[in-house]
Amino acid sequence: MPEKTIESINIKRIEILDQAGETDEALMPSLAEADIRCLYELLVLSRAFDQRALSLQREGRLGTYASILGQEASQVGSAYALEQQDWVFPSFRETGVHIARGYPAELLFAYWAGDERGMQAPEGLNIFPISIAVGTHIPHAVGAAMAIKYRGEKTAVAAYFGDGATSKGDFHEGFNMAGVYRLPVVFICQNNQWAISIPRERQSAARTLAQKAFAYGFEGIQVDGNDIFAVYKVTRDALRKARDGGGPTFIECHTYRMAHHTTADDSTRYRHDREVELWKPRDPLARLQSFMEKKGLWTEQYRAEAEARARTIIDDAVKKAEAMPRPDPGDMFTYTYAAPSSRQRRQQGAL
C-alpha cells in the first residue's frame, strides 16, 4: 500500500508594526486616530499601574505581585478587540486586560493587597476572578462557552494564560472539549518565554505553542505579542469567528517577561542579562510611539499629558484602595460553602 500524508499543518505568524514604527498596510486593521490614541494611553496607564504596584509591594503595602512589563501590547491589544458582552477568564498576569476593560484600578490594588473583594467585578463587566492556579480556569472558560452556545447567544469567551499552562492537563482537557463542540472561545496565550524559571524550550518540544490547537481540530496562530496592531487584528478576527459559530481559536502571543516572575522571585539566578537586553528594543510602548510620531499623532507634550493623567488615576486608585474599610474576617467562612462544615464552625468559634 502507498504511503499517504493524511494531515499537515501550517502555522501562521502575524506581524504588522515593526520596531521602527513602520506598518504592513495590507494587514493593518482599520483604526481611527482616536482608537490609536486610546490604545497608547491604555499602554501608558497599564505601565503606570505596574510600576506603582511594584513600589507598593516593596513598601509592604501590597502582597506578592506579578509584573506585566513588556507584555502590555498582548494584553491591551487583545482586550480592546472584545465586545462589552464577551466574557474574560484571566490568569494572574493580566492587569492590562483588566485596565483595558475598565476594571477599577482601586479594586486591583485591593486584590493584590490581599482583599478578595477586589475580585468582585462591577455590574456589566464580564470578568471572572483571577486564577492563581496555573491553567485551572481553562475548563471553566470552556464551560462558559458551552453555556453560551446552548443558549444561542452571540457572545464569545476569552481565556488568558501563560506558556506554562500549555503543559498542564486542564489545557488539554479544555482544548479537547472546545474542539469537539466547536465552542465560541478564544484562547490567548502570552508566551513570555519563561514558566517561572523553566525556559520555553525545556517545557515543550513543539516548535510553536500555536500548533497544539491543531491536535484538537481548530486553528492555532502565532502573533508578535509586542505588536499591538497585530494582536488586536488577530484577536478581533478570532472573536468574530467565535460569535458567528466558527468555533475556537488559539492565539500564541510571542512576547517576553521583562521582570521577575513575581516580586517573590529573583530571575538573575536562572537567566542571563543579555537575553533581557535583547528584548528591550522590542518594547511595545516605544514601538507604538514611533508609529504615532510618523503619523503626527505623538508629541512630547502629548506624552507628558498622557503620563500625568495616568499618574492621577493611579494616585486616586491607591487612596481609594487604602481607604476601604477592612473586611469582616467571618466573610472567609460566609462565602465558601452554602452551609459551613463542622470544621468551619469550629474555626468560626475560634475567631
The residues that are catalytic are: 257, 261, 270
Which of 103, 104, 95, 11 minimizes the C-alpha distance to 54? Answer: 95
Task: Quote the Cα angle for 37-39-44, to 5°.
Answer: 95
- Distance CA(182)–CA(105), nearest Å, equals 35
- Distance CA(56)–CA(139), nearest Å, equals 33
Which residues, including other chains, have CB under 8 Å from residue 298's CB and lie 6 or more apart?
40, 289, 292
As given in the structure block, the three cell numbers for residue 40 are 497608547
- Distance CA(129)–CA(131), nearest Å, equals 6
Question: What Cα–Cα distance (Å) separates residue 222 from each residue in 190, 279, 337, 340?
Answer: 10, 18, 41, 46
Which residues, including other chains, have CB under 8 Å from residue 184's CB and lie 6 or more apart?
145, 148, 149, 155, 156, 157, 242, 243, 245, 247, 248
As given in the structure block, the three cell numbers for residue 344 are 468551619
The residue type found at 50 is D
Which of 239, 35, 92 minimizes the C-alpha distance to 154? Answer: 239
The helix or strand, by DSSP H or E, that contains position 337, with its residue range, turns out to be: none
